[in-house]
Structures are given as structure tokens and as C-alpha cells.
Structure 1
Amino acid sequence: MTDISLWHAVGRNRRDRPALAADIDADLAIIGGGFAGLSTALHAAERGVSVVVLEAEIIAWGATGRNAGFVVPNFAKMDPDNINAALGAERGERLNTFVAGSGELVFDLIKRHSIECSAQQSGWIQPAHSAAAFAKVKSRAGQWAKRGRPAVILDECEIETTTGAKGYSGGWTDRSGGLLNPVEYARGLADAAEAAGARIFERSPVTTIARQADGYRLATTNGSVRAGKVFIATNAYGQAPKPELAKTYFPLKVFQIATEPLPREIRERLLPGNQCVSDTRRNLFTFRFDADNRLISGGMHIFGPGADERVPRTIHRRLKELLELADIPPIAYSWSGMAAVEPDFLPHLVDLGPGLIAGFACNGRGIAPTTAMGNVLADWATGADPDSLPIPFAPPQQIPLHGMMKHAPNMLLPWSMLRDKLDESGA
């Protein structure tokens, strides 16, 4: 297990940015140099807002640089009709519209700012691991199609042809999704934000956030920022200035691997259209290829010693079994990252006081909704009432018994794996 991801290892466009070493002023201060923070910086700076971004490490160091690079413009667990039932039709449809256009937003930004990140709007595919799961995804695809989305149901034969994987009952695809190199994408967003006037500082962890009459003062080791508004965009990383945030989500450690490049004849069988895949299993199975034909997949782990060595081997073995790869190439890179999962699996804006917001939009769908969150928060930075935004906005909602419940995703993994097997057997 390495401390950096494949994307950091192969990245070409890395350039150092200075640490904050002075006391400066801004309209908007952003904590965190990932997708959400950088997208907010870009969109706000383009609207004339004075923006400062403070990153504790380097751009894309956290979850942004440790995911699989999937662009998925929908929700991990909730379907549009469920969201309307939970939030009401008006607010629900606003949130549905927000996420539905998030894929197009990502690829439009890439095109508009000439970001070189191996991006392909080739589509995202969700195969169904059982007949019951297929019934659910047909309903899901139908709900998105009614809202004008490029959602297409695929039968058993079409899924096998499209993915190269056997044994699925069918599935669906959202053709506005796709894939990219997440580190290069984040670096491109940072370059575009700076070109629009934003100032970005690396290796500048925020130690305190102090309320002042005209906004806030953010202190770092060697400097400070005075800003009228503050956006905390650290997701599951770095909540030190506001520790109460850590109890509002489930921290989920996710492992990823990338194999050595596959032989051409095998590569041509799997994902000939170069889409990305995440299926309906509770113990999620994902796969895609990078620009050099490395096969990439991820997974969770059950508690126990040696996970950093054990889990990558398990993911590798699963790829071999589910994709029928007798001679699968060895692991070339393995890494892990922390995701923030909300109890309702929806994006959230957290009200921490006048002009102080934290944002959580991942829930296993990092790139698209966090990029879209930045566009929304630029509205807030230019005067919009946060209650008018499409993302739910409320004070911190701490999870009861968080000290124990935060381990639930990992503790429940064996039960999830058993339920997946029962589904597949039709029991």
C-alpha cells in the first residue's frame, strides 16, 4: 500500500503552490483543495468574488486524489421519487436537477478550460447482480428517463456485450457519465481558478476559525485570512477547526488497486466503449481502465489487522473471478482514501453560523456532485440565501452513538456479502 494513489504517481501537471505566509483579506475563504473547494473557487472567482483557498497538504491530496475517477451524475442509494418523498416535490426536484446535470458540468468545465485529464464522457453502467436488483434498476432508469436524462435500460445480453462481464441479469446506463484522471482534473480546476483570480495556498492547514464583526479570521501556521464568508470543503479529512463535523457522517475507508496493463486481446473484450462500471451489490464491485489500460477496482474491508496488504489482494482476486481473467496482471498500484457517507446518502450543506458553511456531497459519488456543489456555492458567495440552494441546508446533525455507529459500514460488510450471495442464488 502506497501513501499516494495511481493518479498522483502518473500525474504530469504538478506544480508547487506556496504556503500562506502573510495576513491577507478575501471575500470568501475555502478550506480544502479538492473538487468541492476548487470548483467553488473557480465559479466564485469567475463572478468577481475575491477567493482564497487553503489546502493543508497539496491539491487533490484527500479523497479527491484517491478515488477511481468515475463521473456518476446520480445518487448512490436514493432514486428521484424517493428524494421527492423525503424532501417534498419542489425541493426534491431541485436536488434531482442539481445532480442530473452534474456530469455535463464536469465535462463542460474540462472542455472550456482545456483540462488534460484523460476524460471521456463514455457513460456509466450499473449492472444488476440479481433479478430483484434488475427490477430496481429498471425503475431507477425509468425515473431518470422521465426527467429527460440519457438513461437506458440494458438487458442481460446487452450488459454482457457492453461490459464483457457475465452473470448479470441486466442493468442500465447513464450516458452523461464517464471517467477521468481525478488528480489531473483537480489540478486543472486549480489552474482555472487562479486564472480567474483565486489565490491558492498549499501546506497551509487551518488551525482556528474565529468569528469577527465583519466575518471570520482563519489562522494557519504562518499567516491568516480575514474573510466575510467561509466554506469548509474537507469532506472526511481535516475537521480540526470544527470538530463537531466529524460526528455528522460515517467515515468509510475505501481501497483501490490498479493492475499492470492488460494484454490487448483481453482489453478489447472488457468495456470496449471504455465506460466505468459499479454494480448493484451491497459489497460494491467496480471496474474501469485508465489511459494505459490498467484495470482499476476498489472495495471496503472488514476490521482486522493487515488490511492494507489483505484488502488489495482480495480486490485483485475478485477481479479475476468476476471478470474471468485467468492470467490477470499483477497489482501495480494500491492505495486507500476516506469517504464521508451521510445517513441519508444525500449531499448536505451544514450551517455553522452566519457566513460559515461546510459541504458534504460524496456518498460514493465524488466527482460530479462535488463539482456541481461548487457552482451552487458560488451563488451563495454572491448573495444567495443558503436556504434557496438546491442542496439541503441545516445545522450540524450529529449521529447518535457516533463513536460506535461510525464503524457500522465495515462491521456490516460480512452480512452485506451474505445477502449478495442470497440474492444471486434467488433465495
Structure 2
Amino acid sequence: MNNDPRSHGLWERTAPPAPDAVPLRGEARADVAVVGAGYTGLSAALHLAKAGARVTVLEGEAVGFGGSGRNVGLVNAGLWVKPDLVPAALGLERGERLLALLGAAPRLVFDLVAEHGIACEAVSEGTLHCAVGNKGLSDLEDRARQWQARGAPVRLLDAAEAARATGTPAYAGALLDARAGTIQPLAYARGLGRAALAAGAVLHTGSPVVGVAEEGSRWRLTTPGGTVSAEWVIVATNAYTRAPWPEIRAEIAHLPYFNIATAPLSDNLRGTILPGRQGAWDTKAVLTSFRLDAAGRLVIGSVGALRGTAASVHRAWARRTLRKLYPQAGDVPFEAEWYGKIGMTADALPRFHRLARRVVAFSGYNGRGIAPGTAFGRVLADLVAGRIADVDLPLPVTAPEPIGFRAVRELAYEAGAQAVHWGEARFPGRALP
């Protein structure tokens, strides 16, 4: 997008065309204005339009331009934090409600894909969280126990089972989550956009909101080409938030994440790597993720930004890691690379805000955008439609609070990942097994 091959990489090359949309021109009216055409905004628009609401979506760039079109494509259940920490932070009732919602969120994604015929390479065969050493295995044992206590279909694999499931002997074990899976993330976002349009929503791309004002009982949103008057406003911009809601950007730190894709593997090679078609990632702080796409490309990713001197460092890391995990595919050429930004909160939990009267937002997805974004979009639709109240929400209503030392955190994320990947080349004994 925007003639930048490192913005969406492989996903832009292989996704179906974006839904038809043009910039807003003139004045429009709606019941609900949705700002942002990612998973949350489009899910909210789809569910509202299906219920008969007049919905207008305003997107500053293109459908899936932000994290929705750049991520790895793992449709995971739950959050990054361990399940028991959620009710400890939010209270028992609300915490368990959030876990139940996000535990079922991958099913919502795959059901929407089936219902609306979204061509997005959906594979619901689970995901593998892979243990690096005994410390990683201990972490996964805790996660398995906590999810199983809630009835979740997760299973801890031993080293031999993990080797068969991943195709590499690198890991001490793995947590198989049967609820999860993979998709082509930009294709899914575009498919949600087409589904929302078919349900009656209006979609305008190239229409950044540059101003918002309250006019009586309604809100007027201004873009460079026109205005929308609406009773409700849903702000669904997360890590890619710009004006006029800077408080959302202020509460999250940007964590860069990149992906590099190989050329399609041969049938022989493909059968030796993730033979069950699960997506995978490991337990390291500067983690490694890996998955196959429908054409058999191996997509490997980690924390970092592909810019400046870091691009060559991360590219070399990807090659070394591929050779360590899968020597048989270690010299397959790379054919695409891209990166984006993850919105991280101070405690790795998402937020719900009432930014003003009838202006609502979720933010801070902390690297779990696909399933939570889809589920939170439906929650917003239910809230706006009056089907639920604040007391029924999976998160408390909070005011945005600026994250401490945001600039320092962001520098540490980017520079730290580069240092780790650079160091692994020079101290191979400390690298991934």
C-alpha cells in the first residue's frame, strides 16, 4: 500500500482485491460513525448494519491498513497474559467474562468467514506455543493448567510430540490450543469490509477524521472531503490512532513486529514443516513466530522494524533462525518482508473507554488483534444498539492514562530487538536451540 512493499508485503500480494470504496465527499448522516476499517471497526459495522442501523465507516487510508493487514495471521484465543492474572486484575466476574469472550473469539472469526464466504486461507487446526528450554516449558505448564481449569481444549505436548507437530526438535514442548488457527489477515479484513457493505454499511477510505464536534444530540466528524453527522461514534484505530483522539495514542507504546516470507516450499519440504498446518510462536521475550500460508510459503517473524541498519540485522536473523529450525529449508529464498506496529499497554491488558457522550473505544490489543478485535467489534455493536449496558462489558470503563516513559519504551523495544538479533549472530551459544 502507498507503494511501500514493506508495509503489507506478502499479504497485499496474495489477498483478494479491496472492497470498492471512495473518499467521503459532501455531507452524510448516519446512526453510527465508525472510525477505522480494521477488525474492530468492520466487525462493529457489520453487526450494526445487520441489525438495521445506518453505519458509515471512515478510514484514513485503506481497509486493513493498520495492524489488521500486517500481522502474522495467528487467530489466537485469550490474551498474552496468563489466564489467572486477568480476574486478578479486573475482578473475578469481569475477568472471567473477558476470558470467556476471548476464548470463544476464534470461533467467531471462523464462523464469520464461513457465513460470508470470506476467502482468507482460514485454517482452524489450532496453534502451537513452543517452549524454549525448561523455563519455557514451565511457563506453558502454568498456562495449560489455568486454561484447562476453565474447560479450554488445550493440551501440553512433550518434546517428542512437539517435534512431530512443528517438524523441528528445537523445543522442550508445546501448548496446542485447538480453539485457534490461522488466516491471511489482510484478506480477512477486506472480507469483513465486503460483508459490512453487503449488510448495508457505507465505507469511505482515504478519509481521515481531522475534527470532531458535538452538535446538539449528534456528533459531526470532519474529513478533508466532507462531514458525517452521527448519534454515536466508535473509535477503532488502536495503534494507528491519529488526531482527534490523541489520548488513545498516549496510552499505548508502539512495539514493532516484522515478518519475512520464503518462496513457496516444494511439496516434499512442506510435509516436514508444521505438517498439521498450525501457526506457531515461542516463549522467548523477543519471540519467534512461524507459519505456512496456503501456497506453502514459510512466514517467520519477530520483534523489530525493517528500517535503517536494522533491516539487514533482522533479515540475517531470519535466515539463521530458518536454518536452525528447518535446515532442509534453510536456503529457500525470501520473497517478501514487511512490518507494522503493535499497541502495548502498561499491563498488557486492553482498555475500554467512553471518550465522550456516545463516543466509545477499545484499544491496547498487545499483539492479539484478530480474534479480540472481531469480538470487541461485536461487543461495541451490542452496546450501541442497547442490547448490553456498561455493567455487561468484558472490561471496566476507564479514562485513558498516558503510559509512562512511552518514548523510552518504544526506543527500547526497537533497539533492544535489534541488539538481541545482532547478538545471536555473534554469540550463537545463546541463540535459539
TM tier relative to shorter chain: over 0.9
CA distance in 2, matches of 1:392, 1:304: 38
Q: TM-score, normalised by structure 2?
A: 0.92
- Aligned partner of 2:25 among 17, 21, 42: 21
CA contact (8 A) 2:7 2:70 kept: no
* Residue 72 (structure 1) aligned with residue 48 (structure 2): no
In structure 2, give the amino acid aligned to 1:121: S
Other-structure match for 1:332: 335
CA distance in 2, matches of 1:128, 1:397: 34
Unaligned runs of 5+ in 1: none
Q: Kindly state the Cα deviation for residue 299 of structure 1 after the two structures are TM-superposed.
A: 1.4
CA distance in 2, matches of 1:257, 1:303: 10
Other-structure match for 1:33: 37
Q: Deviations over 1:270-304 (max 9, x none)?
A: 11110100111111111101111011011123898
- Aligned partner of 2:385 among 382, 386, 389: 382
Range with bigger deviation, 102-111 or 181-190: 181-190
In structure 1, give the amino acid aligned to 2:74: F
Q: Kindly state the Cα deviation for residue 112 of structure 1 after the two structures are TM-superposed.
A: 1.1
In structure 1, give the amino acid aligned to 2:322: L
Q: Deviations over 1:171-202 (max 9, x none)?
A: 21111111111111111111111121111111
- What is the DSSP-based 3-state SS (H/G/I as helix, E as strand, rest coil) of the residue aligned with 1:4? helix
- Aligned partner of 2:127 among 115, 124, 134: 124
Other-structure match for 2:58: 54
RMSD: 2.3
CA distance in 1, matches of 2:230, 2:49: 14
Q: Give the total of aligned pairs.
A: 424
In structure 2, give the amino acid aligned to 1:40: A
Instruction: Classify 1:308/1:424 alpha carbon distance in 2 versus 1 (closer, same or farther; 3 Å).
Output: closer
Q: TM-score, normalised by structure 1?
A: 0.94
Other-structure match for 2:398: 394
Spell out the pairing of 1:230-241 with structure 2 (5 A cutoff).
230-241=233-244
* Residue 144 (structure 1) aligned with residue 147 (structure 2): yes
Instruction: Classify 1:400/1:12 alpha carbon distance in 2 versus 1 (closer, same or farther; 3 Å).
Output: closer
Other-structure match for 1:368: 371
CA contact (8 A) 1:130 1:424 kept: no
CA contact (8 A) 2:239 2:364 kept: no
Q: Deviations over 1:303-361 (max 9, x none)?
A: 98322343233223222222334643111011111111111111211231111122225
- Aligned partner of 2:299 among 296, 301, 308: 296
Instruction: Classify 1:327/1:422 alpha carbon distance in 2 versus 1 (closer, same or farther; 3 Å).
Output: closer
CA contact (8 A) 2:44 2:377 kept: yes
In structure 2, give the amino acid aligned to 1:26: A
CA contact (8 A) 1:130 1:423 kept: no
Spell out the pairing of 1:152-231 with structure 2 (5 A cutoff).
152-231=155-234
Instruction: Classify 1:228/1:421 alpha carbon distance in 2 versus 1 (closer, same or farther; 3 Å).
Output: farther
* Residue 264 (structure 1) aligned with residue 274 (structure 2): no
Identity within the alignment, %? 37
In structure 2, give the amino acid aligned to 1:46: K
- What is the DSSP-based 3-state SS (H/G/I as helix, E as strand, rest coil) of the residue aligned with 2:8? coil
CA distance in 1, matches of 2:82, 2:249: 26
Q: Kindly state the Cα deviation for residue 40 of structure 1 after the two structures are TM-superposed.
A: 0.8
Q: Deviations over 1:70-94 (max 9, x none)?
A: 1011211x11211111111111101
In structure 2, give the amino acid aligned to 1:39: S
Other-structure match for 1:102: 105
Other-structure match for 2:349: 346
